[in-house]
Structure 1
Amino acid sequence: MTIEVLLVDVGSSRAATLRAALEEAGFGVVGVVADGEGLYEAVERLAPDAVLVDADSPSRDTLEHLAVLGERYPRPLLMLSPRDDRRMLAGAADAGVSAYVLEGVSPPLVRSLVEVAVRQFESVQTLRRELDEARETLASRKVIDRAKTLLMERHGLSERDAYGRLRKAAMDRGRPLVEMARAVLERGAL
């Protein structure tokens, strides 16, 4: 599977060179857009696997666009710049840029940078999904435990009996256990 890259050219003269390096490295270049001009629409329409920003001097607006892009359309973001600017590097990292690369666009370098950024991004996305699922499971468990406690207090049940009653009510009504637990907490009883 070919990794598709969207190239964002921010006033540099290297876009053609970078495009050639990406293609020589085996990537598909799905398009080239200027800073901010149709960036979101291009990402939505072209659905690239990664976005590479080629910038002589990325502006604050460029970094804001990248931060918004990362929130709306999560994908690996890479930035190529000829300047070793620590403030710009920090701003790029805060905007969600996975790799900030100084000048040098040889195909092997481009290939390794894009592939590592894509794999790292996929790993982070997997971890985020797992974290969200764990948080949801924990929140559901807390709701169920509170409902069990309420049933135990109101009806003098053991924890096992309260759970059994809650589970049976959920099964009888064809509802998930956590929904039944929320209903118990709202109404105070089954």
Structure 2
Amino acid sequence: MAKKIVIVDDEPVTKMDIKELLEEAGYDVVGQASNGFEAINECKTHKPDLVIMDIKMPMLDGLKASKKIMHDHIAGGILLLTAFYDKEFVEQAKEVGALGYLVKPLDEKSFIPTVEMCISRAKDIQSLNQQVEEVSKKLEDRKFIDKAKGLLMKEKNLDEQDAYKLLRKMSMDGRTTIGEIARTIVIVYE
């Protein structure tokens, strides 16, 4: 399946050139925008694997739009483009979470490999974020389970093992996770 890309640049010729390069390399350009607000809307609509975005644009610049896009998790990653090499822009690009930074005019030989690397890093980051989310949920569930066990021990005069067995039985009988049962018990008994 072709990777989905949104191109954001206020120069129509630049967008057309980038689109042509990407499509020749087998990417699916699913959207185009001319400013940061349009970029955010395109990302909400298409959830692209990568956004290739100019920094200097009218209304909402690429750095501010990138910050919003990354905050809302509506694109896999962002590759910023600019006509300027400026350390301040590079630092700001790092702060908003951009995966890459290219200076125009684009070198065709390095552009597609850079795009591929950015998409690969975006997938890695997504996978790590998902793992962190899963571990956080398990930790949160563990806290609720421990609290629910304590409440059951107190309310029903059970030892810890029997309280856990009761939670597990409720979970199986209710066909839901033990974490959900524990949350319910904490709400009900507190």
Q: TM-score, normalised by structure 1?
A: 0.82
Deviations 1:136-162 (A, max 9, x none): 111111111112123334444332122
Amino acid at match of 1:186: I
Higher deviation after alignment, 133-142 or 91-100: 91-100
TM-fit CA distance, 1:171: 2.9
Is the 2:36–2:59 Cα contact (8 Å) retained in structure 1?
no
Hey, which bits of structure 1, 4+ residues long, moved more than 6 A? none
Match of 2:20 in 1: 20
TM-fit CA distance, 1:172: 3.3
Higher relative contact order (CA 8 A, sep 6+): 1
Structure number with bigger Rg: 1
Match of 1:64 in 2: 64
Is the 2:32–2:39 Cα contact (8 Å) retained in structure 1?
no
In 2, Cα distance between equivalents of 1:59 and 1:95: 19
Higher deviation after alignment, 103-112 or 151-160: 151-160
Q: 1:47 to 1:166 in 2, by over 3 A?
A: closer
Is the 2:49–2:122 Cα contact (8 Å) retained in structure 1?
no
In 2, Cα distance between equivalents of 1:166 and 1:37: 49
Match of 1:115 in 2: 116
Q: 1:109 to 1:159 in 2, by over 3 A?
A: same
Higher deviation after alignment, 37-46 or 99-108: 37-46
Is the 1:25–1:110 Cα contact (8 Å) retained in structure 2?
no
Q: 1:95 to 1:10 in 2, by over 3 A?
A: farther
Match of 1:177 in 2: 178
The answer to whether 1:132 aligns with 2:112 is no
TM-fit CA distance, 1:91: 1.4
Higher deviation after alignment, 3-12 or 116-125: 3-12
Is the 2:37–2:65 Cα contact (8 Å) retained in structure 1?
no
The answer to whether 1:77 aligns with 2:81 is no
In 2, Cα distance between equivalents of 1:183 and 1:129: 25
RMSD after superposition: 2.7
In 2, Cα distance between equivalents of 1:183 and 1:47: 35
Deviations 1:13-32 (A, max 9, x none): 64343333334444343343
Q: 1:120 to 1:166 in 2, by over 3 A?
A: same
Match of 1:48 in 2: 48
Is the 1:7–1:29 Cα contact (8 Å) retained in structure 2?
yes
Structure 2: 5+ residue stretches without partners: none
Q: TM-score, normalised by structure 2?
A: 0.82
Match of 1:96 in 2: 97
Structure 1: 5+ residue stretches without partners: none
In 2, Cα distance between equivalents of 1:136 and 1:22: 38
Determine what percentage of the aligned residue pairs are the same residue.
Answer: 27
How many aligned positions are there? 188
Q: 1:94 to 1:61 in 2, by over 3 A?
A: farther
